[in-house]
Structure 1
Amino acid sequence: MEQIADLSRKLKIDQLDHIGLVNQDPYSPELLEIARPISNQVDVPAYQVLFVHIYSLEQMKQEIYRIWQTNKLAENGLLYLVYPKLNNPHYPGIHRDSIFPALGVDDALGILPATQLKFNRMVKLNDIFTIIGLKYLNTQELNKIRQTSSQPAVSSRVADYISYLPQLEKELLQIQPELQKAFKNLTPGTQRQWAREIYSAQTQATREKRLQKLVIELQSNINPPTL
């Protein structure tokens, strides 16, 4: 039970109760401890959280847009895609670096085109599956992200900061080894966004402040508050 509770905390769903499971898989029994199979009744309220097993990039794209267009996810809700990791013994694996290009997601924003869904989290489920999450942004959040991304910076291209990732990982390792591990569990696009935010700073004080912001965010995933 502690493993299930820990997973719920990492996914930020331990305070939520309307959680649905779109499809089941024999190699992810943990999810049946967290979610219930979704109901097809028309009067069921939109879910706070939805889990869906994905076995190909094409299916991933289809399922995300289907869920978005049918309004099954509530505003501020979380959509978790459960996909087979590379080199697992049961299914063809999906490389995490291929997800954003396949879906046409901009690394700088992490938002799925024509939706208000933003990639925000990646968590290991077990030796077979990885979970990647999207949040349904409300209009205010969406506008804030778009406004921030349109502001001029030293460089607005995330790709310009890929070379800083090893340096950032090294800094996190020196602060606390678990921080480096937690950073590597973020989606590739999120890693690049953090690199841009930190290393685009024009003063050392600002850079250190932004690095501390990242540390706090990572620590909240490593050591979620106990209730």
Structure 2
Amino acid sequence: MTTPLAPTLEIQRTLWVWCGVYVSAWVSGLLVGAPDVAPSDSSATIASAYATSPSVLVNAALVHGLAAVALYGLSTLLGSERMRKATRGAGLATLVLSLVQLSGEALLTFGLASDGAAGVIGLDSGQIWAAIQVVDGVKMLALAALVLFVLFGQARRVLWATLVSGATVLALLVSAAGHLTLIAPLMTAAYVALPLLLIWAVVAALRFGTPITAPEITQAS
């Protein structure tokens, strides 16, 4: 029988690097900003919002690109041995869905929708934007699963870390419901879910590193 021990120093350092990249990418993306678009806006309004906001692609590259890669990096080092496949699977799902969102943002930014300046596809800006939100809703479900997998993999759960995880999951589920149904009031839960997710990432790096086992230490020595 193996005995779980603390994560190695190398794992802890790598966790903090991924955590730092993840949080920094999101904060930078928020500072860059994104178009203020609502589900009730027309396709023309959405197309215009993206056409006049060239920085949106920088925002998308940060939050859907760099942050997603960093979160996947975190997921490969989080959780227990028995939950490792599930944790990595959830992390990979969030990465793939984020890249789909990034592609959609690029279509809108470059005016490739049917109502854009260089329209080359059969979907208008409103349809693409709605699809991005639905994908975001699915991604939030994957994020909630990731948080739960990491939490359930812990043999000993610290109360404050459990509370942070629980609050994060709840906010993600409410926000996911809003994005999947395009109900604006529920979508605003993302303003709560995102800060909680960033806090959770720090907590995860601090508390939930993948433990090494006694046999692994013996082999290493």
* Greater percentage in strand: 1
| TM-score for the superposition, normalised by structure 1 | 0.23
Larger radius of gyration: 2
TM-score normalized by the length of structure 2: 0.23
